[in-house]
Amino acid sequence: MRLDRFLAETGFGTRTEVKKLIKQGKVTVDGGLATKAESHIYPEKAEVRVDGVLVRYREFIYLMLNKPDGYVSATWDKKLPTVIDLLPEEYAHFEPFPVGRLDIDTEGLLLLTNDGELAHRLLSPKHHVPKTYLAQLERAVKDADIAEFKDGVTLDDGYKTLSAELEGFTVDGEPWAEITICEGKFHQVKRMFEAVGNKVLYLQRVRMKNLVLDEALELGEIRELTEEEISGLKN
Ligand code: URA
């Protein structure tokens, strides 16, 4: 890989900006001063330093966002803020995108990555990746709802969902539920509750496959996934 591309991809600015860094004598490769932006290096092997600080090359980034209400799960929107607006500057050059969609008013776990292959696998209807949500409801879950969700619920468009796990509980006397679904139809959780004459008042995703929403993340905060979390998603 060309040195200027390596530095641009690791977040040191545009090609022009990184050329300047090289000219200023701030970049070393394997201990020697780098003088040519177009010189080639092995990105995984070369010891590249900028101002003496080792630069770690990586192609992919994996981020967990605790999505707040009011943000669209997209990279761009004509009018509304998107989850990309919450991205710290240091990750922007990776150009991550949200893996799947949460409704604008749904909060909680959203994975952002630039690893298209992993995103494709997690979203593929073939793979039935489980996703768990907590929902505040208009009325308490009945045994009949649990049985219906287990069998599959027929939605307003006639589609019968795959089996879903449902459990009701209360928080300060208010009815809530935990629901796990293995597909991702449009507004699926809200429509499933509507199909049994209930209504979702608030929705939060707390889990996707092995990935559990980090309780230490405030709404709007982002952190990188750990190696263990990444390998769990890939396996
Ligand atoms: N189901 C919904 O209804 N909304 C979401 O945001 C996610 C799942």
Residues 25-36 pLDDT 10s: 999 999 999 999
Q: For position 1, what pLDDT does the model report? A: 93
Asked whether the CA dihedral 137, 142, 148, 149 is positive or negative, the reply is: positive
Measure 138 CA to ligand 1 centroid, in angstroms. Answer: 16
Query: Taking 90 as the threshold, does the pLDDT of residue 59 lie above it?
Result: no
Q: For position 225, what pLDDT does the model report? A: 98
Give mean pLDDT, residues 114-126: 96
11: confidence class by pLDDT, cuts 50, 70, 90: confident
Q: In the block, which residue shows the tokens 């922007």?
A: 92
222: confidence class by pLDDT, cuts 50, 70, 90: very high
Among 83, 106, 202, which is best to mutate for testing ligand 1, by the most ligand atoms less than 8 A from CB?
106
* CB 134 less than 6 A from any atom of ligand 1: no
Give mean pLDDT, residues 191-217: 98
41: confidence class by pLDDT, cuts 50, 70, 90: very high
Q: Of these residues, 77, 103, 105, 157, which one is catalytic?
A: 103
Of 1-10, 90-99, 208-217, give the range with the top mean pLDDT.
208-217
Exposure string of 86-106, with b = 16+ CB inside 10 Å and e = fewer, is bbeeebebbebbbbebbbbeb
Q: For position 93, what pLDDT does the model report? A: 85
143: confidence class by pLDDT, cuts 50, 70, 90: very high
Q: For position 137, what pLDDT does the model report? A: 98
User: Is 179 within 8 Å of 166 (Cβ atoms)?
Assistant: yes
C-alpha span between 139 and 196 (Å, rounded): 11
**Nearest in space to 196 (alpha carbons), one of 133, 151, 231:** 151
Q: For position 194, what pLDDT does the model report? A: 98
CA distances from 234 to 16, 143, 228 (A): 36, 36, 10
234 by Cβ neighbours in 10 Å (0-12 / 13-18 / 19+) ranks as: middle
Query: Taking 90 as the threshold, does the pLDDT of residue 58 lie above it?
Result: no
- pTM of this structure: 0.89
Measure 178 CA to ligand 1 centroid, in angstroms. Answer: 13
Q: Are strands 97-98 and 107-113 parallel, antiparallel or unpaired?
A: antiparallel
CA distances from 71 to 112, 131, 219 (A): 14, 20, 11
Query: Taking 90 as the threshold, does the pLDDT of residue 68 lie above it?
Result: yes
Mean pLDDT of the chain: 96
Of 5-14, 56-65, 193-202, give the range with the top mean pLDDT.
193-202
Give the percent of the chain with pLDDT over 70.
Answer: 100
User: Is 68 within 8 Å of 29 (Cβ atoms)?
Assistant: no
- Atom number, ligand 1, closest to the C-alpha of residue 200: 3
